[in-house]
């Protein structure tokens, strides 16, 4: 499984420092959420984001990439990194059978 990380998340998390993760800031073809969506579809990537727009687009789309919505509000970078690292293994397991994951401070929801 490979992932595309939205610009609203830091590009230098240790977890994302491997060939399975691509940050949008490093992909020249991407300049909008629509570009991210299309790029993820074409390249079979899971979108990782803090952006609510992807949730609403997912609900109305006929075809969608898989999405992980990190819904934790404003955290310091170190706290955000720690949160993502703590839940990431469970997120990957859920992505095997689900298309949309919401990760917040209290739970993981899968659709």
> Which among 72, 68, 95 has a CA at the least distance from the CA of 82?
72
pTM to 2 decimals?
0.97
What are the structure tokens assigned to 3, written together?
């992932």
Express each pLDDT in 50-102 by its tens digit.
Answer: 999 999 999 999 999 999 999 998 999 999 999 999 999 999 999 999 999 99
Domain count, the chain: 1
**Residue 21 structural domain:** 2-110
pLDDT (tens digit, 9 = 90+) per residue, 4-24?
999 999 999 999 999 999 999
Among left, alpha and beta (phi > 0; psi -120 to 50; other), residue 9 is: beta
């Amino acid at each position: 499984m490979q992932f595309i990380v939205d610009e609203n998340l830091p590009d230098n998390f240790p977890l994302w420092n491997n060939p399975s993760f691509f940050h949008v800031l490093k992909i020249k073809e991407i300049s909008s959420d629509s570009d991210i969506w299309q790029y993820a579809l074409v390249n079979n990537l899971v979108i990782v984001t803090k952006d609510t727009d992807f949730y609403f687009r997912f609900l109305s789309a006929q075809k969608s990439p898989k999405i992980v919505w990190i819904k934790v509000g404003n955290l310091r970078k170190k706290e955000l990194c720690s949160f993502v690292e703590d839940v990431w293994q469970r997120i990957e397991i859920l992505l095997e059978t689900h298309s949309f994951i919401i990760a917040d401070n209290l739970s993981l929801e899968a659709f």
